Amino acid sequence: MILSTPSVIDEKHDGSNAMDTMLDEYSAVSRKVAMETGATLLDLRAAFLANLKESRTSEQGIHPRLPDHIRNRS
């Protein structure tokens, strides 16, 4: 079994998005259930927030820059 946390809605990494509290609560439940059951956890929320904090400006958010978008198109 694999459990996943939700990722992000909106692009601010400082907890100021309208749905951050709810998403954090859902994530906490997913993490707890994974720990209690031994399920694999896919922590999208932590990964997306880390990415926003480390490598993106507020203008870019989670959207790829144009060169990345073009390079990854099929």
| Spatial distance between the Cα atoms of 14 and 55, rounded to a whole number of angstroms | 14
Among 42, 61, 53, which Cα is nearest to 3's?
42
Domain count, the chain: 1
pLDDT at residue number 45: 94
Indicate yes or no: pTM above 0.85: no
Band of residue 17 on the pLDDT scale cut at 50, 70, 90: confident
- Domain assignment of residue 20, given as a range: 2-71
pLDDT at residue number 12: 73
| Spatial distance between the Cα atoms of 26 and 5, rounded to a whole number of angstroms | 7
22-56 confidence digits (pLDDT tens): 999 999 999 999 999 999 999 999 998 888 777 65
Over pLDDT 90: what percentage of the chain? 45
Got the DSSP string for the chain?
A: -EEE----SSS-SSS-STTHHHHHHHHHHHHHHHHHHT-EEE-HHHHHHHHHHHH--TTTTTSPPHHHHHHT--
